[in-house]
Amino acid sequence: MSFQTAAAISAVWRTAVYSFDYLARLRKGQSVLIHAGAGGVGQAAIQLAKLREAGVIYVTVGTVEKRDLVRSLYGIPDENIFHSRDATFKDDLLRATNGRGVDVILNCVGGELLQASWDCIAPLGTFIEIGKGDAIQNNNLPMGPFSRNVSFVCVDLSLVSRVDPTLMTAVMGDVLDLFAKHPELHEPRPLQMYAADKIEEVFRLVQSSKSTAKVSVDYE
């Protein structure tokens, strides 16, 4: 494995492992909603959910190209792929689950989409927030879903690393162990390598949200 590929794996897989294994304690048969399924964290989360034998995996994506990617790479059926650009995914998911919602939600959408996602959590479920926007802005979160005995957890790996570096070392060790034992696991795809002098081009690509490619920058 090249250094660039390892770098692409590190952050996204640490996020997935910390979220699903440490916080949600994802169990066999549980249902999952993964927002931005074609993204780096999304792809890692899909692979980990499959490895943990999740019951049904639902994802959201923003474009037709990203829908095609998660379907072709991970076999997610069309009926389990929802649109992430507006709140229609809420009605689609609740319809698919007969109103129950899902056991674990990995969320990165904000504003009214965060509210729509929060409404999709099933009784006893765990909602994992990996976006920072609403927390930084100190936005309100309706309390109603808590009556279903659910948990809401925010993830900030940089904070975990500062406060409890031993814990983050353990998470990274788990990631390495997973890749050693399960050779089918892989980096986010497609992965494009860029030289350091192309950094502005990289930022424009990432900010556009149009490309399905993931990027790694080589500083050598």
Q: What is the pLDDT of residue 203?
A: 52
> Model confidence over 185-196: pLDDT tens digits?
999 998 655 445
Q: What is the pLDDT of residue 136?
A: 79
Mean pLDDT of 85-105: 97
The closest alpha carbon to 145, from 163, 127, 133, 131, belongs to 127
Strand-strand pairing, 102-107 and 151-154 = unpaired
Asked if residue 220 has pLDDT above 60, the reply is: no
Asked if residue 201 has pLDDT above 90, the reply is: no
The closest alpha carbon to 214, from 12, 72, 56, 1, belongs to 12
Spans of all domains in the chain: 3-161
Rg of the chain in Å (alpha carbons): 17
What pTM was estimated for this model as a whole?
0.88
Superfamily of domain 3-161: NAD(P)-binding Rossmann-like Domain (3.40.50.720)
Q: What is the pLDDT of residue 138?
A: 75
Please state, for a pLDDT cut of 90, what percent of the chain lies above it.
77
Other beta carbons within 10 angstroms of residue 144's beta carbon come to: 9
- Does the bond joining 142 to the residue before it have cis omega, within 30 degrees of 0? no
- Confidence grade of residue 152 (pLDDT, cut at 50, 70, 90): very high
